[in-house]
Chain A
Amino acid sequence: MCLVVFTSLSASAAEIICASTTSTENSGLFGYILPMFEKKTGIKVKVVARGTGAAIEMGKRGDADVAFVHAKEQELKAVEEGFFVNRHDVMYNDFVLVGPTDDPAKIKGTKTVADAFKKISAGSLFVSRGDNSGTNTKELSIWKKAGIEPKGQKWYLEVGQGMEKTQRIADEKRAYTLTDRGTWLATKDKDKLAMAIVLEGDPVMFNQYGVMAVNPEKHKHVKSKEAMEFINWLISKEGQQAIASFKYSHGNPLFIPNAK
């Protein structure tokens, strides 16, 4: 009992900055799980939502205490370079390829997303985030796999916007785009998109989210203890259950916890 009072008192004023991504913030996940964490530990998590690239950069510069992003290769590279420590898988959802409901490029039935990209490049439009985000990184790796250089092509529109806006632009342009299932489920009805999933389930489209703390040896001021507490909570049974219980109004879970 004493211990509980003591820890809640000592932690009451603590705040950490979490660099994260627009897809996580816009899905409403943080608004759902952070109050639970704050209630338990007294640590307030302030979220700055950027693309994954910018979020990692924020951490590298020491402008955040913890990063919660989804581009595993970039994350592991940043850990290897010594900018971050204590990286953990937290949860996943998957990417889906969406396009106009009538599917003008006849993607439906295509097995791999690389083949689908080839079909799109042959006469349809593709809208790209073009912002170095996790989704953008994944998309570019698929183009590479398909052996196509999309940049500068007439059918390739780099919009430099968040996921939801990108979907809306794709809808207006009757184009295809790669999106994460979380954002798609949370927004397709609200935004009245005349679009549908044309391809899903390709293992390439797996979207892993990870969390990592800024290395206190690089930046002395970071609140390492609180950041570790946050990470430990996210990967704990309690945190994982909180993520699993986050559902959009249709009852679809948006993220599937998979911390080890």
Chain B
Amino acid sequence: MDSIIESFSRALYLILHLDRELLGIIVLSLRVSGTALLAATLIGLPFSALLGFKKFPLRGLIISMLNTFMGLPPVVVGLFVYLLLSRSGPFGFLALLYTPTAMIIAQTILAFPIVASLSHSAIVSVDPIIRQASMTLGATPFQISLNVISEARYGIMSAVMAGFGRVMAEVGAILIVGGNIAGFTRVMTTTIALETDKGNFELALALGIILLSISLLINAALHSIQRKGMVANR
């Protein structure tokens, strides 16, 4: 119990005396996970719209696969990306292994199925009346899609938030492809793993508390936007 209390006071101390190294780690975490989330959304949203609006063969299979990939084990993704980016792998010439870019690629792969699958659910659950009404009013198929997506925007936002939770908490994949190099590819979660390894439990837990607080702030901000939108919609 002492360790846990000690960790909370340590976390508070670290936040108040934010040193450059810790700040760098936090900024890198946000940069890597934020970029990965953005990429996953930019690919995932049109993809989910395609799945929601167009009927084509194997569509059911793709949806099932997406749902399965929501549970992709991060270490497996890490290993897969590692083998692709390794100097002895097909993309070795890009020299991306052990860089933040490699971490972004791995996390994009992890977040994509979550964003795509949950957005798809949000899109298909929009009241069909919206679609029919747009059609009657003479909207083009593209305009109809935009109307439906706009109706589903809060569900889509939840999808993005779920993706954010996934990548911010992830350690297995980025440890493998980033290498946890001090000052270069070391982020919050890999620092926590390292400090746990080194037996610095209080420091590790304190970092965990900071990570959770950051996630809480971001989620609260997104949630308030979502709420305002819902109220305004009524």
Contact = CB atoms under 8 A, between A and B. Distances in A.
Given A162-B197, A164-B198, A63 B97 contact: yes
A221 B87 contact: yes
Interface string A166-187: 0010000000000000000001
Interface in B85-104: 86-89, 92, 95, 97-98
Interface residues of A, number: 22
B197 A165 contact: yes
Contacts of A17: 98, 179, 181
Contacts, number: 47
A221 B95 contact: yes
A46 B197 contact: no
Contact of A62 (B87, B181, B182, B197): B87
Interface of B is mostly: loop
Nearest to B181: A46
B180 interface: yes
A41 interface: no
A48 interface: yes
A149 B146 CA distance: 66
B13 interface: no
A168 B199 contact: yes
A219 B87 contact: yes
B31 to A, nearest CB: 18
A26 B198 contact: yes
A166 B201 CA distance: 15
A49 B180 contact: yes
Most buried by B among A63, A162, A165, A191: A63
Contacts of A198: none
Nearest to A30: B182
A237 interface: no
Contacts of B180: 48-49
A56 to B, nearest CB: 14
A164 B89 CA distance: 32
Interface string A111-138: 0000000000000000000000000000
Q: Which 10 A-B pairs have the closest CB atoms?
A: A62-B87, A48-B179, A61-B88, A46-B181, A191-B199, A61-B86, A162-B197, A63-B87, A63-B86, A63-B97
Given A63-B86, A168-B199, 12 more contacts: A22-B197, A46-B98, A46-B179, A47-B181, A60-B88, A61-B87, A62-B88, A63-B98, A165-B197, A187-B198, A187-B199, A221-B95
18 contacts: A31-B182, A46-B98, A46-B181, A47-B182, A48-B181, A60-B88, A61-B86, A61-B87, A62-B86, A62-B87, A62-B92, A63-B87, A161-B197, A164-B199, A165-B197, A168-B199, A190-B199, A219-B87
